[in-house]
Amino acid sequence: MSHRKIAVVITARPSYSRVKTVLQAIKDHPNLELQLIVAASALLERYGSAVHYIENDGFTIAAKVFNVLEGENLTAAAKTTGIGILELSTVFENLKPDIVVTVADRFETMATAIAASYMNIPLAHIQGGEVTGNIDEKVRHAITKLADYHFVASEDAKTRVLKLGEEVDSVFNTGCPSIDIAKAIDTSGKLQFNPYSRYGGVGAEPDLSNGYVVVMQHPVTTEYKDSRRHVEETLTVVSQLTLPVLWFWPNVDAGADGTSSGIRSYREKNELNHVHFFKNMKGDDFLNLLNHASCLIGNSSVGIRECAYLGVPVVNIGTRQNRRERGENVIDVPYSKDAIYNAIQSQIKVNKTPKSLVYGDGNAGKKIAEYLEQVPLKFHKTIVY
Amino acid sequence: MSHRKIAVVITARPSYSRVKTVLQAIKDHPNLELQLIVAASALLERYGSAVHYIENDGFTIAAKVFNVLEGENLTAAAKTTGIGILELSTVFENLKPDIVVTVADRFETMATAIAASYMNIPLAHIQGGEVTGNIDEKVRHAITKLADYHFVASEDAKTRVLKLGEEVDSVFNTGCPSIDIAKAIDTSGKLQFNPYSRYGGVGAEPDLSNGYVVVMQHPVTTEYKDSRRHVEETLTVVSQLTLPVLWFWPNVDAGADGTSSGIRSYREKNELNHVHFFKNMKGDDFLNLLNHASCLIGNSSVGIRECAYLGVPVVNIGTRQNRRERGENVIDVPYSKDAIYNAIQSQIKVNKTPKSLVYGDGNAGKKIAEYLEQVPLKFHKTIVY
Amino acid sequence: MSHRKIAVVITARPSYSRVKTVLQAIKDHPNLELQLIVAASALLERYGSAVHYIENDGFTIAAKVFNVLEGENLTAAAKTTGIGILELSTVFENLKPDIVVTVADRFETMATAIAASYMNIPLAHIQGGEVTGNIDEKVRHAITKLADYHFVASEDAKTRVLKLGEEVDSVFNTGCPSIDIAKAIDTSGKLQFNPYSRYGGVGAEPDLSNGYVVVMQHPVTTEYKDSRRHVEETLTVVSQLTLPVLWFWPNVDAGADGTSSGIRSYREKNELNHVHFFKNMKGDDFLNLLNHASCLIGNSSVGIRECAYLGVPVVNIGTRQNRRERGENVIDVPYSKDAIYNAIQSQIKVNKTPKSLVYGDGNAGKKIAEYLEQVPLKFHKTIVY
Amino acid sequence: MSHRKIAVVITARPSYSRVKTVLQAIKDHPNLELQLIVAASALLERYGSAVHYIENDGFTIAAKVFNVLEGENLTAAAKTTGIGILELSTVFENLKPDIVVTVADRFETMATAIAASYMNIPLAHIQGGEVTGNIDEKVRHAITKLADYHFVASEDAKTRVLKLGEEVDSVFNTGCPSIDIAKAIDTSGKLQFNPYSRYGGVGAEPDLSNGYVVVMQHPVTTEYKDSRRHVEETLTVVSQLTLPVLWFWPNVDAGADGTSSGIRSYREKNELNHVHFFKNMKGDDFLNLLNHASCLIGNSSVGIRECAYLGVPVVNIGTRQNRRERGENVIDVPYSKDAIYNAIQSQIKVNKTPKSLVYGDGNAGKKIAEYLEQVPLKFHKTIVY
């Protein structure tokens, strides 16, 4: 089996966390060479740069590509993708990978998919086949139609990729690599670190020893004009809670400024003596934090995936995670302060929900690396029907 | 019914010809305003600029976008697409269309699709759902997953788009607008114009009154390193024909230079006293020319579509039109001079094949304009399964 | 005299304010047509979008171009310029101006200069020939070498442009158009509006009736790693003042985040009960505010220009305005809290300094419009020595 | 003395030839590391790719950047430059050079200059300070204003750079590196190789043993609409010569297609039994060819520089070399067939003109490498007056 160069493009800090075990398994594999490319918001301090996490974890970055265009509208998302294609083409031209890997469904991952597929480089897609009902879904399924290999996270996703006309021997249910990290964390005992001293952030520093909730709410691309109103419902509820609240800043998206400015403005006008705001956190620390939380509130996919495996109760707000498979740990609510409030009251009474393997058994990284070594190199396909 | 602005992006001269009746029907519709955007190779003399055809036909160009990156490799195709997104976003930002229309499946049409869908502008796609087995297919189906309305050319295409998970009320079999043009041409009598004096070109000017064949062979993206060898098979056969040959230069693509340089080099070394080369021809003149041809040779989609309607015999070479629906007028052959030669000998004995409506009845333009006025404006969808 | 189309590209809110009277004079001129293009940070809310000011002032925007690449390093400034060239070329291709006007010396103004000069469109430059000793100077003099007409703000600037080898009949000392605005404001009596209610912003709202100081400190490109430290010196001094302080947020630049984050962090840790922060202000309101201020502190060019004409005392910090001509109203100090403190104490004792015409008599806008109508159209030049 | 990384950006094959001795001297220097970046037309076969020459000469390419935008108008030149900035910024971000070197004055060299200077990387410019009176001059002097070190080719150029306000210790008259190659060629005896068999090309293959002339005519950017007419004057004269003619295809420029299509069209219509066309030739072979030519005809700078050193008679046509310093070997003529004809008749009677050192003594490469090691690293400057 000859040596293969595998280029993985990371465009956001959460994507890095999600596929870290894949990167590690590629790096550790004797027949694979990892070419790690970091781009888009993964490079920006404003959204929590992934660079120092990546370097601390012992990875070497082969190329950095700054391509986030600034703007308060959706035009910026399109242009960021255009610049990404332009520049990733040059990076691929110079690095000459055997396979390119793109992760999930953020708008700018399309840049990776187009550059690779147009250059006849075999393209692997991690986490296709899921359903959410937002712009990410257009992106996700379009990438499926460009990709040559599909590493999906669940049986439901596999079925959907096959329905989309992909060849059966190109679709692999490896589980989601984010579960690999959840599997590895220490789930015994209490929270082992002080999040304030380790991660800074702003706001109050309430005592966490009697429980706390975590909030993570991203803007939804198709609703970006309402981002501010949506986050204000959550803010209103959160301000009334008695439990400490650890709030994580949203990552970049069209409309990020709606959510961000909503939070910033609310803070200027209201005292939030029990709320602390973080920009980001190392993946395993974040999972440890979640593991000991009374409840996760918001619309992050971590509530659907890792929290299912860990058994953490979740209040999932709005449309962002629509139609993703769920474990029993999730209560879904609309953008309504009353519904959010009631669901939180219900969830914080639960202790833990049962472990679910719907998103994998925690060995996704190794499985993906194995397939990357073994799949036939191809960039030519045709729809099966 | 309120007034709607419809932006149509034309990126190649053949695409213009194909959708001319759509443009006309939009322009003529009292409730629609046409915003015609011309980009990519449609602007370049080297590939037969569409601009003066467009202006002669009475259309006003709202914006021109030069975005073809030069290069002999596939990197250029990717980068052309990236630049296209970057610039079309600005054009859409300034023109503010209600619906954007993208045509067919050339690589750079993806730029239109991404810019519109990322900006939450409803996106219509003409000619999705077909199968060819080359890189165009990745592009075509990916655009289907980004588009909100699908104007397909045949029942087979409609079925395929629905299988891809699109909502049934977003898919419309209007037939192919190229058939509208075929319907309109004068099919009686003899060829009414002198192609040499009207279109120039280079090479011999053989007498056409006793029949002739037409050749149109494009490079195939997934085989671009072989473009030169492939076209040389055809050139060898063509050099041996006794009938006059009218050869049309290929349009831009990665590998265009392989095909083009193959032709150029062959011409330097061989006398071709019965062959004339054209860069391009107005759509209806071209159809008239085909209508009176003994045979069309090559891999153009015109052989599959318009020639089916017109009943012109076709020798279809190689993989470019694989799995597209066909009428009885087509003989398929591999890139082999013997197979090409034999098929030509067989086809030039046929007079006309029966008219086929597989790609529509010649009213596609009007049907599409009607739908563009009536469809609900939406940019949000979810896969149906 | 035939009709001329004059494209003016505005890339930042302060540039808009500076040339507003030029835009008005072009718009009012019977033989000129204004094509106003708004780009870069002038479009971004984060830096105080100029768009609603422009529209309120009755101008129509011919095209908007989002081209600010996000990033904390200088790479972003270069890339913003590259995107600007790419897109402005298309805008010029479609608008077909007779003359393009670029303003001053911000890094991204180079995009306007290159697009126009490479396309053989006559290029006019407002505010060349000045000296500052930072990266802006490289940009400013390079633009002089690309420009065909030079509308300079002072005799000193005219001399320098001529020394750079420009033809004598292409250099016009019109004065600076920013002085036109200063001339027009009402300088009698007291401050006529409440800046808090009209412009919002954050922080304390101290009573301004017994005097106040204004602060405006931008990052310096060549020192961007020190931006945070530099602004902290000023913050320390400001925190000790007894007079109310009105602080204006910096505009975008590489390192903006250094200055901005310095301010944000200082605010988190310190009480500033006499300081209010504004994002931006309409030009004439800002000049009225300055006109009644005890002192302007920072490194804004407004201290050198408009304040000279208005006779407002200025404490000019650091290198950003090095070697610009000054009136008697300026005290220059290094980035040192003691020096800044002492200079402020000295300046707030002064009432008004004498009016200086070094940057013009307040008719620059009209003069520039006249020249734009009369200069021969040319894009070809050669160095005079 | 610490180790320095020197990035040299090559954007055209002729630029490579011109600075090859600089590249070699950097590569050979114990304290310097060469980072060779190849971009623009230097990568394109259509203009004679420099890549295989570079690799044959033993250099390693650190990055390739395809950035030539296709188009028949000047818009393409502007956009090529914009893309160049966007991508070279990323290349510099990843390679982290200590000094960037840009060569001469082709439009796209501005991309190198802007990317480096905006990123605060010290910028060296080879061949500034010359005068030509075309668009190149705007570019050349603008780059001088962006550059930190100037390696000029003559005393006249040095004087001009100093007049432009550059500091005296940043300007070095090293001579032109193209003379280094001229110095190294074997000037004894007869032409040592068969250009037809070594370089292919198209057209007749006349016997060269009794003398020949060489033609090299580039389009002039400011006159690009006239390119075709201009080259036709030369073609008319050339068709009447009795001596064999070796014609070199023009390099890329806006208007290249005017010149190229003029030549192509002329060849279609006229028999040229004594003319052979080459795309390009290795630098030293080309100089050998020139050295034995009776005369060089056209507007190439090689006629002004290397031919001065070699003593080859030159007929210099049109404005492209206006005001460059000349040796005694040049006769200047307008775009007029009679003037061109008469000058050729006069020059082919001359044998050799005396060797001139106006462009250096043939040691420029080594001198430049020495300076690159020794100059203080700086990116901050101010105009001297």
Contacting residues for C73 by C-beta, under 8 A, at least 6 apart: A66, C254, D93, D119
Chains touching A (3+ CB pairs < 8 Å):
B, C, D
CA B131 to chain centre: 15
Q: Which amino acid is at C38?
A: V
Is there a contact between A367 and A174 (Cβ–Cβ < 8 Å)?
yes
Pick the CATH number of A186-347 from 1.20.810.10, 3.90.1150.10, 3.40.30.10, 3.40.50.2000: 3.40.50.2000
**If phi over 0 gives left and psi between -120 and 50 gives alpha, with beta otherwise, what is residue B127?**
left
Which residue do the tokens 């914006």 mark?
B63
Please give the interface size between B and D, counted as residue pairs whose CB atoms are below 8 Å apart. 51
Strand order in the sheet with B213-216: B202-203, B275-278, B245-248, B213-216, B295-298, B314-317, B330-333
Q: How many beta carbons lie within 10 A of that of residue A187, not counting itself?
A: 15
Domain(s) of CATH 3.40.50.2000: residues in chain B: 4-176+360-374, 184-347
pLDDT computed for residue B49 by the predictor: 84
> Could you give the C-alpha distances from A201 to A247, A277, C72, C277, in angstroms and in order?
10, 5, 19, 22
**If phi over 0 gives left and psi between -120 and 50 gives alpha, with beta otherwise, what is residue C185?**
beta
Contacting residues for D229 by C-beta, under 8 A, at least 6 apart: D262, D335
> How far, in Å, CA of C229 to CA of B190, rounded?
84
The contact set of A with C (CB < 8 A) is 43-46, 66-73, 75-76, 79, 83, 202, 257, 268
Across B24-38, B148-162, B309-323, least confident range:
B309-323
Domain(s) of CATH 3.40.50.2000: residues in chain D: 4-176+360-374, 187-347
- A256 pLDDT band, cuts 50/70/90, is low
Structure tokens at A218: 């991203």
> How far, in Å, CA of C83 to CA of A9, rounded?
22
Task: Report, as an integer, the average pLDDT of D364-369.
Answer: 98
* Ramachandran angles phi, psi of C39, nearest 5°: -145, 175
Structure tokens at D278: 């080459």
Q: Do C66 and A68 touch (CB under 8 A)?
A: no
Q: Do B66 and D43 touch (CB under 8 A)?
A: no
CATH topology of domain D187-347: Rossmann fold (3.40.50)
Considering only the top CATH level, what class is B184-347? alpha beta
Task: Report, as an integer, the average pLDDT of C1-30.
Answer: 93
- Residues of C within 8 A of B93 (CB-CB) are 64, 66
Q: Do D66 and B83 touch (CB under 8 A)?
A: no
Q: Which of A82, A120, A131 faces B85 most closely, judged by CB atoms?
A: A82
Q: Do C79 and A68 touch (CB under 8 A)?
A: no
- pLDDT, greater one: C114 or C227: C114
Taking the CA of residue B338 as centre, how many other CA atoms within 13 Å lie in the half-sphere pointing to its CB?
0
Task: Report, as an integer, the average pLDDT of B127-136.
Answer: 86
- pLDDT, greater one: A87 or B189: A87
Transcribe C221-256 into DSSP letters. Answer: GGGGGGHHHHHHHHHHHHHH-SS-EEEEPPPP-TTH
Secondary structure letter of residue B299 according to DSSP: S
> How far, in Å, CA of D102 to CA of D326, rounded?
24
**Tens digits of per-residue pLDDT, D90-120?**
999 999 999 999 999 999 999 999 999 999 9
Structure tokens at A58: 């012992």
> How far, in Å, CA of D213 to CA of B166, rounded?
68
Helix (H, G, I), strand (E, B) or coil at A32: strand
b/e burial code for range A301-330 (CB count within 10 A of at least 16 → b): bbbbbbbbbbbbbbbbbbbbbbebbbbebb
* Ramachandran angles phi, psi of D80, nearest 5°: -55, -40
pLDDT computed for residue C294 by the predictor: 96
pLDDT computed for residue B253 by the predictor: 53
Strand order in the sheet with A275-278: A202-203, A275-278, A245-248, A213-216, A295-298, A314-317, A330-333
pTM of the model: 0.85
- A158 pLDDT band, cuts 50/70/90, is very high
Q: Which of D82, D133, D163 faces C385 most closely, judged by CB atoms?
A: D163
Which residue do the tokens 């209007």 mark?
B174
> How far, in Å, CA of D200 to CA of A59, rounded?
49
Structure tokens at C98: 């007779």
Q: Do A165 and B84 touch (CB under 8 A)?
A: no
b/e burial code for range C111-122 (CB count within 10 A of at least 16 → b): bbbbbbbbbbbb
> How far, in Å, CA of D9 to CA of D115, rounded?
11
- pLDDT, greater one: A86 or C280: A86
Of the candidates C179, C316, C298, C307, the one whose C-alpha atom is nearest the C-alpha of residue C246 is C298
Domain(s) of CATH 3.40.50.2000: residues in chain A: 4-176+360-374, 186-347
Is there a contact between B198 and B285 (Cβ–Cβ < 8 Å)?
yes
Across B232-236, D121-125, D154-158, D184-188, least confident range:
D184-188
Is there a contact between B151 and B368 (Cβ–Cβ < 8 Å)?
yes
Q: Do A143 and B144 touch (CB under 8 A)?
A: no
Q: Do D83 and A86 touch (CB under 8 A)?
A: yes
Is there a contact between C101 and C9 (Cβ–Cβ < 8 Å)?
yes
Of the candidates C124, C80, C85, the one whose C-alpha atom is nearest the C-alpha of residue C103 is C124
ipTM value, please give it. 0.85
Q: Å from D94 to nearest chain A CA?
A: 6
Which residue do the tokens 């008695």 mark?
A242
Is the model's pLDDT at D254 over the cut of 60? Answer: no
Structure tokens at A378: 């191809």
**Tens digits of per-residue pLDDT, C257-272?**
688 888 988 988 898 9
Is the model's pLDDT at D255 over the cut of 60? Answer: no
Pick the CATH number of D4-176+360-374 from 3.40.50.300, 2.60.40.2700, 3.30.750.24, 3.40.50.2000: 3.40.50.2000
> Could you give the C-alpha distances from D135 to C101, C114, C126, D88, D131, in angstroms and in order?
18, 11, 21, 23, 11
- B220 pLDDT band, cuts 50/70/90, is confident
Q: Å from C117 to nearest chain D CA?
A: 8
CA C240 to chain centre: 29
**Tens digits of per-residue pLDDT, C187-246?**
777 888 999 999 999 999 999 999 999 999 988 877 778 889 999 999 999 999 999 999
pLDDT computed for residue C211 by the predictor: 94
* Ramachandran angles phi, psi of A343, nearest 5°: -65, -40
pLDDT computed for residue D46 by the predictor: 79
Task: Report, as an integer, the average pLDDT of A142-156.
Answer: 97
The percentage of residues in chain B with a pLDDT greater than 90, rounded to a whole number, is 78
pLDDT computed for residue D253 by the predictor: 52
The contact set of D with B (CB < 8 A) is 43-46, 66-73, 75-76, 79, 83, 202, 257, 268
Q: Which of B64, B83, B93 faces C94 most closely, judged by CB atoms?
A: B64
Q: Å from A217 to nearest chain C CA?
A: 21
Is there a contact between B242 and B345 (Cβ–Cβ < 8 Å)?
no
Q: Å from B17 to nearest chain C CA?
A: 23
Q: Are strands C202-203 and C275-278 parallel, antiparallel or unpaired?
A: antiparallel
Secondary structure letter of residue A69 according to DSSP: B
> Could you give the C-alpha distances from A264 to A205, A221, B15, in angstroms and in order?
18, 20, 49
- pLDDT, greater one: A132 or C247: C247
